[in-house]
Amino acid sequence: MSAVEATTENAAEGKLQAMAHDSVKTVIAASMVGTAIEFYDFYAYGTAAANYFPHIFFSAKDNPTVALLMSLLTFAIAFIARPLGSLVFGHFGDRMGRKTTLVVSLMTMGIGTFLIGCLPTYDQAGVFAVAILCLLRFIQGIGLGGEWSGAALVATENAPEDKRALYGSFPELGAPIGFFLSNGTYFLLETFNDSDAMLAWGWRVPFLLSAVLVIIGLVVRVHMEETPIFRMAQEQKKVVKSPLTEVFRKSWKQVLQATFLVAVTYTLFYTLATWSLAWGTKEQGEGGGGLGFTNQEYLLMLMIAICVFAAFIVISCVNADKWGRKRVIITSSVLLVVFAALFPFLLNGEIVGQRNFFANMVFLCVGFALMGTAFGPIGAFLPELFDANVRYSGSGIGYNLAAIVGAAFVPTIATWLSSHFGVHSVGLYLGVMAVCCLVAVLSCRETKDVDFTK
């Protein structure tokens, strides 16, 4: 390398580091708030779909299990829409930049969530109410399709090279924050209102309150800077006209790897947070396991366990920066296979009895510890699989295809499996997804030291 080339490269690197340093506090907030809203919105919907929507939008009188399954199917609509959102927002994120795209995706997501809280019930509007619910759920999914990948890039493209996984943990930490806020809102509502009040109006409150989070997120994102790596790509004229074509032409293998790396985290999360809520609080004839917990008791246990989730996100990201992404995710995948084989014993009423808080907390805390370990490094690992000029599209498509493979039908499938074949069939389902993740990560290259500017 000539002295002139070395000087130019050092000057570019210095400029990049200066940009990252100047905006680091803002990008942390900007990346975290969107993911917090994402999980707040989705878990608010998941909780409502498990507990209230079977009564509000579907008839739970004739066959409660069927009403629950129909309600949970509406939960899947947004996940089906997410890959479409990732195609749209990924294209513009790689063409126009991360900042503008993230603002639009957040507005789309927020409008869909707020309007769900304004819907008429089935008794008021009949099938029209269900149709509008499905439409708004689809809009919610479109907005969410562009959210995570953009937030991950805002964090990692502003990170020092040796701390990309740690910086990538900030959008991941939005997950337990959003989960905690959603759960906390339902917990407080159910503390001060009976079931009739919750069915009448209380279920709407979490959706309406999401507007506050969206406004905060928009304020933060409007004032943030474009990421320095994207600005450098613009200056070097590396921005491609058709990022999607480029992704599927050159990086289809990485898209598949990303899909199955993330899918198991979705399966685990919605097994822990949505299916287990119904299993723990409903009777066997209603699609539950007859464990005897009240909804309020289970929400409190979930709120305690979610703190374990947050702690292990940070721990796993620190380890991923130190030891590599592959080693951490391989470890979590193997442990998830073991967990999948053992956790059904903790949720079997014939073995642990009713209202066994200790057994249920072991299930939730161990599950969320493994969730944090598997989910944490993803914020850096997925973007690192792709080149800078297609990074938004590639990581977004992989992440949101994982939402279909790993999450869209998890509550429905798990409810159907457990009601027909018992709780051990849910463990088998999770175990298969963990093996798929293990195969995917073994096929990946280690990305810890990849040149992230290219």
- Both tokens of residue 236? 């070097």
Nearest one of 147, 152, 148 to 164, comparing CA atoms: 152
Q: Residue 330: what pLDDT? A: 97
Q: Residue 205: what pLDDT? A: 95
Go through the chain and tell me how many residues it has: 454
Rounded distance between C-alpha atoms, residue 132 and residue 190, angstroms: 26
Q: Residue 23: what pLDDT? A: 60
Q: Is 336 exposed, middle or buried, given 0-12, 13-18 or 19+ CB atoms closer than 10 A? A: buried
CB 349 within 8 A of CB 291: yes
Q: Residue 13: what pLDDT? A: 53
- In the CATH scheme, what is the homologous superfamily, with its name and number, of domain 19-443? MFS general substrate transporter like domains (1.20.1250.20)
pLDDT tens-digit map of 172-195: 998 899 988 998 999 899 889 998
Domain residue limits, the chain: 19-443
Q: Residue 11: what pLDDT? A: 47
Distances (CA, A) of 439 to 162, 323, 329, 442: 26, 19, 11, 5
Q: Residue 260: what pLDDT? A: 95
Q: Residue 6: what pLDDT? A: 44
Rounded average pLDDT per 10-residue block, the chain, 454 residues: 45 50 68 83 82 82 75 82 86 78 87 92 88 91 84 83 90 89 90 90 94 88 77 70 80 93 93 89 84 90 94 96 96 97 94 94 97 95 89 88 83 87 94 96 93 79
Q: Residue 368: what pLDDT? A: 97
- Both tokens of residue 274? 């949505």
Rounded distance between C-alpha atoms, residue 375 and residue 382, angstroms: 11
Nearest one of 158, 163, 239, 232 to 9, comparing CA atoms: 232
